[in-house]
Amino acid sequence: MIQEINFDGIIGPSHNYAGLSPGNLAATRNAGATAQPRAAALQGIAKMRANLALGLTQGILLPHPRPDHRWLAALHTNYESAAAHLQARALSASPMWAANAATVSPAPDTEDGRCHLTVANLVTMPHRSHEWPATLAQLRLAFADPGFVVHDPIPAPFGDEGAANHMRLTSTHGDAGIEIFVYGEAGGPFPARQHREASEAVARAHRLDPARTLLVEQSPEAIAAGAFHNDVVAVANERTLFAHEQAFADRDGFYADLRRLMPEVEIVEVPAARVSLADAIQSYLFNAQLVTAGTGAQTLVVPAEARENAAVWGWLQEHLAGNGPIRAVEVVDVRESMANGGGPACLRLRVACDPALVDPRFLVDAQKLDRLAAVIAAHWPEAIAFDAIGDPALIEQITQARRALVEALDLVGLIDR
């Protein structure tokens, strides 16, 4: 009964380019640009449609209430009188990147046979540090069945950024797997966002078998180059690990451990001589969704930027022409998310479980996506210039837009906090 569900974050009506994430090169490069929230959200809906067309099961997570008035109140201010940098942090639409919502361990991996989720604390960045209460409320509603355990966040100061730093390898999604926690130590001028202590704590909370759990250090070179999460340089699906040559501090030791624990593992490594770290990060080659389509073929869902990068696209075509495990590549347009530093994989949280145990309001089909697209088209702002984030009329539109979405999903009063 277990299958993988991709829960995509719906891009919220406050989507803007405030450049709040040091180390995220795209976000800082586009700081101050005019964002297109309506187009961004519709691009996300189109990506979910493409997943359904591949035969995948699709879920959603909703944008959070923005501005976050409770966070501002805890700072003894309000949106109208807050400093501009606090306004920007309170208005951030970053919950759209559901890969940072939680870390997930499916039931076959856990001692108690339940699917465990730990909400990420995101303490490294101020604009993300106040996300977890609203995320936790959604997770506890979507996964209320006794087959799930939803944990509180790991306490500060141990930074935990969720599934973006976690991979799972297994013969099939319903079999016991190898869980891989990737942490950082240093990255030149940029902060390492995933702490080893947080990863160890999540593994204990999820009651994982230590013999089938690996803690792996992300390479400082990757962090310094702009790989602020592991999923910018590596992604896994079933028995395939797809990674850049420079993704890990001790790649040889990591690969040896993998082959010892899972002899059938297929490691697809992209050489730095073919695709540089800079090209991998610019194109988000590895921040792709590596999925098993309904046909059984492993498929890589990449952003359009990967097709536009000659080195990246050339390597992909060569791999497809060979006998490697990745048999197809699908291209999606998520340019608005990419410009803020998040590719296809950032937008989704993978949960391997029985879909019948999930609150159906968080699962979508083509018809429900049609309804959501209509709400977005009618209510999301068409554009947000950075210097408009204090405009009361814009704030009212953002508030009403999210309310319309919550009403359309019959979740009024259940996920505001």
Q: Is residue 301 part of a domain?
A: yes
Query: How far apart, in whole angstroms, are the C-alpha atoms of residue 212 and residue 258?
Result: 10
Residue span of the structural domain in which 132 resides = 3-408
Query: How far apart, in whole angstroms, are the C-alpha atoms of residue 92 and residue 398?
Result: 12
CA proximity to 417, closest of 6, 18, 17, 73 = 73
DSSP SS3 for 361: helix
Q: Is residue 378 part of a domain?
A: yes
The encoded tokens of residue 83 equal 């400093």
Who's near 47: CB < 8 A, 6+ residues apart? 8, 301, 332, 334, 344, 347
CA proximity to 40, closest of 401, 417, 409, 406 = 401
Query: How far apart, in whole angstroms, are the C-alpha atoms of residue 51 and residue 54?
Result: 5
**pLDDT per residue rounded down to tens, the chain (417 residues):** 899 999 999 999 999 998 888 788 878 888 889 999 999 999 999 999 999 999 999 999 999 999 999 999 999 999 999 999 999 999 999 999 999 999 999 999 999 999 999 999 999 999 999 999 999 999 999 999 999 999 999 999 999 999 999 999 999 999 999 999 999 987 678 878 999 999 999 999 999 999 999 999 999 999 999 999 999 999 999 999 999 999 999 999 999 999 999 999 999 999 999 999 999 999 999 999 999 999 999 999 999 999 999 999 999 999 999 989 999 999 999 999 999 989 999 999 999 999 999 999 999 999 999 999 999 999 999 999 989 999 999 999 999 999 999 999 999 887 775
CA proximity to 215, closest of 250, 241, 264 = 250
CA proximity to 164, closest of 126, 218, 107 = 218
Question: Domain containing 366 — which CATH number?
Answer: 3.75.10.20
Query: How far apart, in whole angstroms, are the C-alpha atoms of residue 44 and residue 34?
Result: 18
Number of H helices, E strands in the chain: 15, 16
Q: Which of 195, 330, 346, 353 is catalytic?
A: 346
Q: Is residue 382 part of a domain?
A: yes
Query: How far apart, in whole angstroms, are the C-alpha atoms of residue 25 and residue 188?
Result: 14
Q: Does the annotation mark 229 as catalytic?
A: yes
Q: Is residue 413 part of a domain?
A: no
Buried b or exposed e, range 165-186, using 16+ CB within 10 angstroms: bbbbbbeebbeebbbbbbbbee
CA proximity to 182, closest of 247, 239, 118, 129 = 247
CB count, 10 Å around CB of 210? 10
Q: Is residue 111 part of a domain?
A: yes
Who's near 271: CB < 8 A, 6+ residues apart? 245
Q: Which of 64, 130, 131, 161 is catalytic?
A: 161
Parallel/antiparallel/unpaired status of strands 166-169 and 289-292: unpaired
DSSP SS3 for 225: helix
- The structural domain count of the chain equals 1
Q: Is residue 416 part of a domain?
A: no
Parallel/antiparallel/unpaired status of strands 266-270 and 240-244: parallel
Q: Are 25 and 197 in contact (CB under 8 A)?
A: no
Q: Is residue 415 part of a domain?
A: no
| Res 230: pLDDT | 96
Who's near 97: CB < 8 A, 6+ residues apart? 9, 164, 337, 342, 346, 347
Query: How far apart, in whole angstroms, are the C-alpha atoms of residue 136 and residue 378?
Result: 28
Cis ω for the linkage preceding 95 (within 30 of 0): no
What is the dihedral sign for C-alpha 85, 86, 88, 89? positive
Q: Is residue 84 part of a domain?
A: yes
Q: Which of 127, 173, 229, 379 is catalytic?
A: 229
Q: Does the annotation mark 346 as catalytic?
A: yes
